[in-house]
Amino acid sequence: RAPIRIRHLAEWKAQGRRWPMLTAYDYSTAVAFDDAEIPVLLVGDSAGNVVHGESTTLPVTVDELVPLARGVVRGAPHSLIVVDLPFGSYEVSPEQALLTSIRIMKETGAHAVKLEGGAERAKAIRAIVDAGIPVMAHLGFTPQSVNALGGFRVQGRDEGAAAKLQSDASAVQAAGAFAVVLEMVPAGLAAELTKTLQIPTVGIGAGVECDAQVLVWQDMVGMTPGRQPRFVRRFAEVGEALRTAARDYAAAVESGEFPADEHSF
Ligand code: KIV
Ligand code: NA
């Protein structure tokens, strides 16, 4: 099986072939997703939520994401691995964005970086792309800007906001981004953007007409505690399976049923 590269995603857009992306934060999970032939894996700053238990992605640092990304790169040799630029690691200047991206590429072996923002990030995207590093953009609800956006809300609902989203999408494409995540965008607007843009759109809460879809893997398998966003579908109940396994293990240890002779030397 040949490894997935940026050019495959462009080919799939031309063919109208939809593709899945999942987040991954460690080696063992990456092995499973590589076996499942998930073409693109994102080491998301959602690690702040699902790995570190923070309520936003703002506290996540490059130092925290690098070791996670290393594990994913080793576990998924056939997948295209994208790593998020954490909040505070790229907004100061295009130079800062490039230095952070170079560090991530050098220290992780990943294939691309992702950053949030539109026209205001175009110069940073251009600087990174010019250094030979592919960039995925992220528009709509951008979690690093949760404080400015006034909470967890659908973006681009009114005419002005839709027009802004369209010009941001054009700006990131013109700056050289190879794909763009659309998070919590009305399905009709996402469909329009998908039709207009040459680069693939990756939807999360952005309807079925996007070229690709992405979910946080813990959301996708029922591992996330608390209220789940409307855009999530649970494809398994791994959280429940894990609780049951842990309880069964505890009971077997307490009763002396485990370890049995076959587990002993
Ligand atoms: O960090 C993340 O998981 C993301 C995806 C949801 C797009 O940015
Ligand atoms: Na992210």
Instruction: For the beta carbon of residue 162, count every other beta carbon within 10 angstroms.
Output: 18
Q: Which residues of 184-202 are buried (b: 16+ CB within 10 A; e: fewer)?
A: bbbeebbbbbbeebebbbb
Distances (CA, A) of 19 to 65, 112, 138, 211: 25, 17, 17, 7
Ligand 1: residue whose CA is nearest its atom 4: 44
- CA–CA separation, 16 vs 259, rounded Å? 53
For 51-67, what is each residue's pLDDT tens digit? 999 999 999 999 999 99
What is the SS3 assignment for 42?
A: strand
Mean pLDDT (the chain, rounded): 97
Element at 106 (helix H, strand E): helix 94-108
The response to whether 237 counts as a known ligand-binding position is no
pLDDT of residue 87: 98
For 177-214, what is each residue's pLDDT tens digit? 999 999 999 999 999 999 999 999 999 999 999 999 99
For 109-122, what is each residue's pLDDT tens digit? 999 999 999 999 99
Ligand 1: residue whose CA is nearest its atom 2: 44
E-strand stretches of 37-104:
40-43, 80-84
**Ligand 1: distance of its center to the CA of 216 in Å?**
7
**Ligand 1: distance of its center to the CA of 57 in Å?**
10
For 76-105, what is each residue's pLDDT tens digit? 999 999 999 999 999 999 999 999 999 999
Q: Which domains does the chain have, with CATH numbers?
A: 6-218 (3.20.20.60)
The confidence band for 226, taking pLDDT boundaries of 50, 70 and 90, is: confident
Ligand 1 pocket test target in 38, 58, 84 with most atoms within 8 Å of CB: 84
- CA–CA separation, 234 vs 153, rounded Å? 21
The confidence band for 227, taking pLDDT boundaries of 50, 70 and 90, is: confident
ipTM of the complex: 0.99
The response to whether 219 counts as a known ligand-binding position is no
254 is catalytic: no
The confidence band for 150, taking pLDDT boundaries of 50, 70 and 90, is: confident
The answer to whether the CB of 101 is under 6 A from ligand 1 is: no
Residue 18 CA, chain-centre distance (Å), reads: 16
| Strand 201-204, strand 212-215: pairing | parallel
Q: What is the pTM of this model?
A: 0.98
Ligand 1 pocket test target in 135, 142, 180, 204 with most atoms within 8 Å of CB: 204
The response to whether 116 counts as a known ligand-binding position is yes
